[in-house]
Amino acid sequence: MSRIHYTKPSITQLEIDYATDAAINGWGERCYEYIGRFEQLFREHLGVKHAIATSSCTGALHMGLAALDVGPGDEVIVADTNWIASAAPITYLGATPIFVDVLPDTWCIDPEQVEKAITARTKAIIAVHIYGNLCDMDSLMNIGKRHGIPVIEDAAEAIGSVWHGKRAGSIGEFGTFSFHGTKTITTGEGGMFVTNDDNLYEKVLTLSNHGRARGQTRQFWPDMVGFKYKISNIQAAIGCAQMERIGELIARKREVFEHYAERLRKIPGLSLNPQKAGTVNGYWMPTVVFEKESGITREFLQKIFREADIDARVFFWPLSTLPPFSTSTTSNPVAKSLCERAINLPSYHDMTKNEQDMVLAVLANAMQGK
């Protein structure tokens, strides 16, 4: 039996054809053709005014924060349960990430803890829709409005997730997305910045092109020091094909999750990605969290999956426990506890039910203490 990987991209002849066309013909006057088309398709899918394709979600977040004038002395509130990419751009700008605890059911940022963490130095709040689960955007937007603080959506993992009729990433001041090879939509590496704010869009568009403002008539004349976070035309070509298949790709993620859930919901002592009333979960990464009383640990789960030649991922460590943030004095008990008793399950487009059943068998053995 071949190894069961935790994720793989879905690449068809359509992606191959578009990438080939970009490689052969996408130069000179056509060098941005697929990029523009990719941005348009993404705008239409998300229902936003503006989209800028980037080389990564990290770069999109970096530019968005820079456009909001985040800098030294500022604080940005973010959930402790996260990948470092959600916090690193804060440090790039000399600001300080303030890590707050997460909710035990969604594993997303706790609005009550956000409110408590706000100070005169708070410049932004980042809502990360972890594993496709949705942050409580109504509460966060209300907090932001009361305090005059922008709420940003890191929707890197939330393609297909919908908050009360609005797609994840389209609600806050701006949203960012990832098209890493592990994501529901992929370009290999890549990201997207989206916003409905015209002024913010123009700032980020300028920053994304070495500080050269749109409409500047002097060639090679930067108006400010910017960044180089542009996606390539070939990557965007793959993205165009993926966007043409986006309904299929999202639906398949949900099918894979539901097959797991059908079996696991019957088992006491564990919980899965939630889908609350009025929302749709894109289920990027099906995740099982065991109750403390089960005695099942991260290390035990890693061991039994490794022995079965199945590539399951550990739940994100709290950022405040990582070496770069070791001076953090925060204590976030929910974030700390979750990662000690959880595992991400394999889920990819072409995963068979037989492969899923092998994963489920390992979980059954875990519950029996084998």
Domain 13-244 in CATH 3.40.640.10? The answer is yes
Rounded to whole angstroms, the Cα distance separating 143 from 109 reads 13
SS3 125: strand
Rounded to whole angstroms, the Cα distance separating 112 from 174 reads 22
With a cut of 50, list the residues of the chain below it in pLDDT: none
Q: Supply φ then ψ for residue 288, to 5 degrees.
A: -110, 125
Q: For the chain, which residues make up each domain, given as ranges?
A: 13-244, 246-368
Q: Which residues, listed in sequence order, are joined to residue 128 by a DSSP beta bridge?
A: 154
Q: Is the dihedral of CA 247, 250, 252, 258 positive or negative?
A: negative
Q: What is the pLDDT of residue 326?
A: 82
Q: Is the dihedral of CA 107, 111, 117, 118 positive or negative?
A: positive
Q: In sequence order, which residues have a C-beta less than 8 Å from that of residue 86 and are 6 or more positions away?
A: 61, 78, 79, 126, 128, 154, 156, 319
First to last CA, the chain: 21
Whose structure tokens read 């992929």?
Answer: 186
Rounded to whole angstroms, the Cα distance separating 129 from 169 reads 9
Q: What is the pLDDT of residue 369?
A: 67
Please write the tens of the pLDDT for every residue from 271-325.
999 999 999 999 999 999 999 999 999 999 999 999 999 999 999 999 999 999 9
Q: What is the pLDDT of residue 1?
A: 59
Q: What is the pLDDT of residue 329?
A: 74
Cβ proximity of 51 and 156 under 8 Å? no
Give me the CATH topology for the region 246-368.
Aspartate Aminotransferase, domain 1 (3.90.1150)
